[in-house]
């Protein structure tokens, strides 16, 4: 005897032979059991805990290709089930323990003889003799369905995507196993599991107004409060034809945590960067003020009568102070660029005059080193030129300082010419006869704080900011800077800038980077 099922006892012994003495079971239960044996519909009882079939009628034995109940009960179904099927049966057990009268209908694909066999499974609760919950399965051969339909149904059963269908009032019509695993057994109402009722109301309103919604919200699950990416779309119930809506959701809690951690790290990095920028700005200003005083007093002292040794010492003070002031100015420019405080002030200017002014600022140092300097403006077309003369002069001066610094003999030459169609661009070139830049260094030559490796570079000093400032200022003006160099033939830096004359000034810099002059 297996036990009671749906309130009656089932006897698995053979009662087909005539026997005057009835089995030790209640008469009406015996009759029901005998009737079950005559049904063409397969019936069997599944023991959730043992994961075995513990009773089956003749039709079920034929379906499962089993000689008798004992042979079928000995079959280890767990080995034949996928993990998703096992989870689904566990969910059915929970459903039946909550709602003893519940009836579940599903389309199953069974493999009783190794080949797939589709049945409509009607599932109900029954109790075993020891009081444990079991499941009575009524399996009917399913009518023919297209392979695509069959595979779609199976995919819905096995997908990890939470999927449920609700009627227009939010009552659950269907929920796939992933939904049950996430939100538990029993009938659910849409929105009941949302942590914030406003999120559910927003989704319902969006579906009503536009037919669909996508949102990320916190929901209450069996694993606690989790973030889900939720898609909801209006549809029709294919059984009744009534309006409904389909929900699909995916747990994105880990992604949200990572996103929050990244946002927090970014905020911390930006705060640290702002603090660094403030510190550099304050320190640079604090250093520039006394340095200007030192250089001013050195200039005044230079106009007095000095001995030769005193004049030499004063020159060292002036040269060193000037170099330090240039470093301070570079740091202030970097801070201003990072803060977006650099403004490009485009006005009419003379490119040749700007080039001459920039080269004159380093002529004394070039002559001290015995270098010749020359300018060529013969290919500059006559006409109006508009740009930020001050910033262009600053860029050119950086290039001239580098050219003189790294050239021990030979010449530093510069030229300015019209470029592009109808002279719509201005091109400046600064060339030297120095040692050149190795090919491996050219990619990074315009990076901040980058200097070409070598004792010669270390001897010349510098912060490694000059070329970076040049590139960033040129970017703000919508231009470009390139380097052509050979290891022994010197270097040529070429700048090409748009001529804004006749078209009005249009900022070409990234949004938000141009605010006010330093």
Encode pLDDT of 358-371 as tens digits.
999 889 889 999 99
State mean pLDDT over 467-492: 88
pLDDT value for 33: 64
Asked whether the beta carbons of 415 and 377 are under 8 A apart, the reply is yes
pLDDT value for 102: 87
Q: Which two tokens stand for residue 382?
A: 């006559």
Q: How far apart are CA 10 and CA 498, in angstroms?
A: 94
Q: How far apart are CA 222 and CA 165, in angstroms?
A: 20
Q: How far apart are CA 129 and CA 93, in angstroms?
A: 17
Between 65-74, 236-245, 402-411, the lowest mean confidence (pLDDT) is in 236-245
Q: How far apart are CA 199 and CA 180, in angstroms?
A: 21
Q: Is 229 helix (H, G, I), strand (E, B) or coil?
A: strand
CATH 3.30.450.20 at 3-151, yes or no: yes
Q: Give strand pairing partners of 119.
A: 108, 141
pLDDT reading at 9 higher than 50: no
Q: Which two tokens stand for residue 276?
A: 């660094």
pLDDT value for 474: 93
pTM: 0.47
pLDDT reading at 508 higher than 50: no
Between 45-59, 197-211, 303-317, the lowest mean confidence (pLDDT) is in 303-317
At the top level of CATH, the class of 258-338 is mainly alpha
pLDDT value for 372: 93
pLDDT value for 423: 66
* Sequence ranges of the chain with CATH classification 3.30.565.10: 341-498
> 479-508: b or e for each residue (b if 16 or more CB lie within 10 Å)?
bebebebeeeebbbbbbbbbbbbeeebeee
Asked whether the beta carbons of 47 and 39 are under 8 A apart, the reply is no
305 backbone dihedrals φ, ψ, rounded to 5° = -75, 120
pLDDT reading at 178 higher than 60: yes
Looking up tokens 């330093």 gives 518
pLDDT value for 399: 93
pLDDT value for 510: 37
Q: How far apart are CA 34 and CA 9, in angstroms?
A: 11
* Sequence ranges of the chain with CATH classification 3.30.450.20: 3-151, 160-251
State mean pLDDT over 193-198: 93
pLDDT reading at 418 higher than 70: yes
CATH 3.30.565.10 at 341-498, yes or no: yes
Asked whether the beta carbons of 172 and 187 are under 8 A apart, the reply is yes
Between 29-33, 70-74, 264-268, the lowest mean confidence (pLDDT) is in 29-33
pLDDT reading at 452 higher than 80: no
HEC string of 349-391 equals CCHHHHHHHHHHCCHHHHHHCCCEEEEECCCCCCCCCEECHHH
The model's confidence at residue 324, banded by pLDDT at 50, 70 and 90, is confident
pLDDT reading at 285 higher than 60: yes
The model's confidence at residue 32, banded by pLDDT at 50, 70 and 90, is low
* Sequence ranges of the chain with CATH classification 1.10.287.130: 258-338
Q: Which residue did the predictor score with more confidence, 82 or 397?
A: 397
As a 3-state breakdown, the chain gives helix, strand, coil percent values, each rounded to 5, of: 40, 25, 35
Q: Give strand pairing partners of 105.
A: 122
pLDDT reading at 255 higher than 80: yes
Q: How many residues does the chain have?
A: 518
Q: Is 447 helix (H, G, I), strand (E, B) or coil?
A: coil
Q: How far apart are CA 179 and CA 58, in angstroms?
A: 35
pLDDT reading at 13 higher than 60: no
pLDDT reading at 226 higher than 90: yes
Asked whether the beta carbons of 243 and 155 are under 8 A apart, the reply is no
pLDDT reading at 144 higher than 50: yes
What average pLDDT does the structure give for the chain? 81
pLDDT reading at 432 higher than 80: yes
The model's confidence at residue 509, banded by pLDDT at 50, 70 and 90, is very low
CATH 3.30.450.20 at 160-251, yes or no: yes
pLDDT value for 259: 92
Share of the chain above pLDDT 90, in %: 34
């Amino acid at each position: 005897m297996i036990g009671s099922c749906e309130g009656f006892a089932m006897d698995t012994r053979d009662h087909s032979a005539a026997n005057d003495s009835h089995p030790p079971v209640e008469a009406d239960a015996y009759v029901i059991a005998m009737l079950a044996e005559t049904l063409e519909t397969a019936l069997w009882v599944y023991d959730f805990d043992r994961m075995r079939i513990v009773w089956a009628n003749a039709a079920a034995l034929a379906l499962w290709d089993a000689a008798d109940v004992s042979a079928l009960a000995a079959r280890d179904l767990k080995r034949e089930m996928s993990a998703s099927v096992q989870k689904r049966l566990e969910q059915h057990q929970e459903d039946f323990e909550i709602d003893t009268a519940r009836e579940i209908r599903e389309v199953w694909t069974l493999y009783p003889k190794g080949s797939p066999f589709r049945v409509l499974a009607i599932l109900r609760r029954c109790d075993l003799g020891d009081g444990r919950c079991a499941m009575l399965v009524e399996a009917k051969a399913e009518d023919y369905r297209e392979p695509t339909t069959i595979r779609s149904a199976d995919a819905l059963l096995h997908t990890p995507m939470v999927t449920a269908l609700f009627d227009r009032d939010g009552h659950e019509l269907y929920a796939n196993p992933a939904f049950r695993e996430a939100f538990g057994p029993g009938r659910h109402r849409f929105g009941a599991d949302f942590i914030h009722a406003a999120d559910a109301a927003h989704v319902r309103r969006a579906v009503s107004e536009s037919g669909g919604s996508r949102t990320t919200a916190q929901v209450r699950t069996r694993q606690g409060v989790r973030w889900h990416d939720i898609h909801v779309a209006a549809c029709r119930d294919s059984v009744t034809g009534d309006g409904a809506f389909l929900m699909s959701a995916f747990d994105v809690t880990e992604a949200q945590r990572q996103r929050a951690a990244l946002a927090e790290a970014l905020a911390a990095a930006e705060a640290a960067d702002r603090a660094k920028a403030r510190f550099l700005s304050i320190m640079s200003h604090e250093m520039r003020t006394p340095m200007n005083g030192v250089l001013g007093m050195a200039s005044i002292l230079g106009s007095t009568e000095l001995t030769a040794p005193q004049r030499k010492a004063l020159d060292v003070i002036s040269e060193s102070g000037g170099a330090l002031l240039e470093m301070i100015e570079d740091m202030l420019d970097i801070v201003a660029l990072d803060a977006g405080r650099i403004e490009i002030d485009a006005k009419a200017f003379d490119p040749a005059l700007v080039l001459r002014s920039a080269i004159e600022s380093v002529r004394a140092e070039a002559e001290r080193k015995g270098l010749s300097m020359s300018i060529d403006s013969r290919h500059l077309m006559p006409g109006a030129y508009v740009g930020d003369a001050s910033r262009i002069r600053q860029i050119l001066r950086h290039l001239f300082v580098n050219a003189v610094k790294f050239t021990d003999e030979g010449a530093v030459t510069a030229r300015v010419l019209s470029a592009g169609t109808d002279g719509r661009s201005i091109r400046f070139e600064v060339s030297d006869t120095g040692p050149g830049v190795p090919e491996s260094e050219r990619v990074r030559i315009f990076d901040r704080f980058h200097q070409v490796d070598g004792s010669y570079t270390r001897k010349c000093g510098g912060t490694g900011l000059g070329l970076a400032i040049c590139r960033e200022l040129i970017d703000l003006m919508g231009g470009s800077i390139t380097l052509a160099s050979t290891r022994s033939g010197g270097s040529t830096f070429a700048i090409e800038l748009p001529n804004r004359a006749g078209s009005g000034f249009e900022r070409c810099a990234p949004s938000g980077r141009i605010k006010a002059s330093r």
